[in-house]
Structure 1
Amino acid sequence: MTNIVKNMSKSLRHATIVPHRSAARGHADHGWLNTYHSFSFANWYNPNFTHFGALRVLNEDRVKANNGFPTHPHRDFEIFSYILSGELTHRDSMLKRGSEGGLSDKFFRMHRGDVQFTTGGTGIAHSEMNEHKKDTVHFLQIWAIPWKRGLTPRYHTRHFDEAAKRVDFVKILSPMKGGPEASAQEEKDAVPTIPDTIPIHADFVMGAGIIAPDQTFGWTVGGGAGIETNRKVYVHLPGTKSGQAKIRIDGREELSEGDGAFIDKVNSGDKLMVESIGEVDAEVVVLDTA
């Protein structure tokens, strides 16, 4: 049964919802990279925006053709890229150009709907380049704080269906079964708590939906993963429709493109209603954490 409800929202009176306006984000334009930071990152620091639960980084990046992030190291963060438009080519210290073997080109050259996930763990190096000849790539780069340090580096890449996102929120990430004390075999198997999602080493669920005008999607707090009761949810509306997309959360807070919202004092199982009130479809990303 779909969670689409027309012109209806159920209020979560116990929840607090604080907008994080696009203009309050950090911003840097390097020519090849135009980036907005919802949380303190690189040379931009704001003590009010350091993290939200396990959510540490949310950057909305646009990288011009034939440019990108050359090979660089990561440690002890869970890092994922959500592609909104264009293409992004991933290469890393485990799988380099020329040694891909039987892996498809799609693994490296990601497009809309693809999600690339990295466990930095004890250390890994990768590059993210826009190797297209003319098109800019637009994507979200998101970091989460893992439940323990020193994990084994790992990658996952998965495509999430566009049509499914137009029916309901699609779950993209969920905690890895076994939790912080997972055995070596559980780490190897990398089974997510929620089927058909990417496993993450954190109490963290990510979802995404494409909501048509005048329609409402309901996000079940906790994602149905059976995890920690007291939760926080961050909702982000990427800038994909030239300012024409707009949403209303819980019938009370309106967000425009580039805006986010801190939703606190919610519990696993609560229903958070997100209504599309703009002129065009609204692509909404939900980040649900303890």
Structure 2
Amino acid sequence: MSKSILRQAKITPHLSSTRGHNSLGWLDTYHSFSFAHWHDPRFTHFGSLRVLNEDRVQPNSGFPTHPHRDFEIFSYILSGELTHRDSMLTKGKEGGQSDKFFRMHRGDVQFTTGGTGIAHSEFNEHNKDTVHFLQIWAIPWKRGLTPRYHTRHFSDEDKRKDFVKILSPLKAGEDATAQEEAEAEPTIPNTIPIHADFVMGAGIIAPEGKFEWTVGGGAAQKNQRKVFIHLPMLKGGKARIRLDGREDAELSEGDGAFVEGVYIGDRLIVESIGEEEAEVIVLDTA
């Protein structure tokens, strides 16, 4: 077993059994943080991370047109198909795939800046397959931003080599001009820009394999960090991970962990200790 190299860090597992759960027939959802009608004062937010829902939506159902405001919201597709459609687009007249209309599959990430207000739908239009995805919300560094969408694909092949960066802060920062907002350049190339001191990564670790996450993700601003790790329910319970070599930081599918007392440049070791490969989500925030 590896030894801890983050002795100053506090790692607190957030077990799947402590998540909120709601089953509506068309939707089966688990909430890592207080959401909708489920509230737990222990789990309200973690830095700028506000929502992490693990959702399964049945065929020909989903979230009809609904508004968002002043949150950064992103969907990470694990399996199945999810169609994102801006409310201003008439069904059947979308004109092909775009940021405002995108039929997402595994590896796709769809990102929304709610800003001053936006409305869209997220629907599983497939006639037989359930879609399984993570819905994540972050608190932006300021309110009243210009609403915007981004969609990007991140391959399994790359995730099996190392943690792949998914999101990084808008390079121009909190005081970006309108032109810089429109250019939407992220701090890390080939990632999606987010209006927060926030970096997201994802990796697929083979059994007995080990990946290393450098705290801050190479793009953070504030030195002291909070890192949330999540292990989605993908392998029928056969995927497991260990954080920082600690026996008391071993996670099963559906579990998460709060990592506190870490700083930019610290190294967090994630080991795959189950029978199946583990898809690990890293959310690194101030």
Please tell me the TM-score bracket, short chain as reference: over 0.9
Listed as ranges, the gaps of 5+ residues in structure 2 are none
The match for 2:71 is: 77
In the alignment, structure 1 residue 184 sits paired with structure 2 residue 208: no
The Cα of 1:95 is off from its aligned counterpart by 4.0
Deviations 1:37-68 (A, max 9, x none): 00000000000000000000000000011110
Distance apart, 1:10 and its partner CA = 5.0
Q: Of the candidates 265, 269, 286, which is equivalent to residue 269 of structure 1? A: 265
**Aligned-partner SS, 2:29:** strand
Say yes or no: does 1:162 pair with 2:148: no
TM-score (norm 1): 0.95
The one-letter code sitting in structure 1 at the alignment partner of 2:148 is R
Deviation at 1:99, TM superposition (A): 3.8
Query: Which runs of structure 2 are paired with 1:203-222 in the superposition (5 Å)?
Result: 203-222=197-216
1:3 corresponds to which residue?
A: none
| Matches of 2:206 and 2:41, distance apart in 1 | 36
Deviation at 1:108, TM superposition (A): 1.6
Unmatched 5+ stretches in structure 1: 1-6
How big is each residue's C-alpha offset from its partner over 1:165-199, in whole Å with a ceiling of 9 and x where there is no partner?
00000000000011111111110100000110000
Give, in whole Å, the separation in 2 of the partners of 1:39 and 1:150.
Answer: 24
Residue type at the aligned position of 2:191: T
- Aligned mate of 1:282, from 273, 278, 282: 278
Q: CA RMSD in A?
A: 1.5
Q: Distance in 1 between matches of 2:265 and 2:44?
A: 27
Question: Normalized against structure 2, the TM-score is what?
Answer: 0.96
Q: Quick one: distance in 2 between partners of 1:102 and 1:65?
A: 22
Please state how far the C-alpha of 1:101 moved relative to its aligned partner. Answer: 2.8
In 1, distance between residues paired with 2:88 and 2:171?
24
**1:109 corresponding residue in structure 2:** 103
- Helix, strand or coil: the match of 2:174? helix
Identity of aligned pairs, percent? 75
The equivalent of 2:251 in structure 1 is 255
**Alpha-carbon distance, 1:102 to partner:** 4.9
- Say whether 1:38 aligns with 2:58: no
Match of 1:163, SS state, is helix
Distance 2:205 2:225 in 1: 24
The one of 206, 220, 225 aligned to 2:219: 225
Call closer, same or farther: CA 1:10–1:244 in 2, change over 3 Å.
Answer: same
Q: Look up the match of 1:145.
A: 139
Whether the 8 Å contact between 1:9 and 1:273 is mirrored in structure 2 is: no
Matches of 2:153 and 2:224, distance apart in 1: 30
1:27 aligns with 2:27: no
CA distance, structure 1, for counterparts of residue 87 and residue 38 of structure 2:
28
Distance in structure 2 (CA, Å) of the matches to 1:283 and 1:191? 27
> Is contact 1:8-1:216 (8 Å) kept?
no
How far, CA to CA, are the matches of 2:88 and 2:187 in structure 1?
26
Task: After superposition, give the CA deviation of every residue in 1:112-167 in whole Å (9 maximum; x if it has no partner).
Answer: 00000000000010101011111110000000000000000000000001100000
1:199-223 Cα shifts (integer Å, max 9, x gaps) = 0000000000000000100001110
- Residue 272 of structure 1 deviates from its aligned partner by 0.4
Q: How does 1:11-26 map to 2 (within 5 A)?
A: 11-26=5-20
Give the aligned length: 284
Residue range with higher mean Cα deviation, 92-101 or 250-259? 92-101
Once residues 84 and 28 of structure 2 are traced to their aligned partners in structure 1, the CA distance between those partners, rounded to angstroms, is 19
Contact 1:236 1:286 in 2 (8 A): yes
1:121 to 115, 124, 130: 115
Distance 1:271 1:182 in 2: 31
Q: 2:45 aligns with which of 21, 44, 51?
A: 51
Work out whether 1:237 is the aligned partner of 2:231.
yes
CA contact (8 A) 1:39 1:50 kept: yes
Aligned-partner Cα distance in 1 for 2:18–2:64: 28
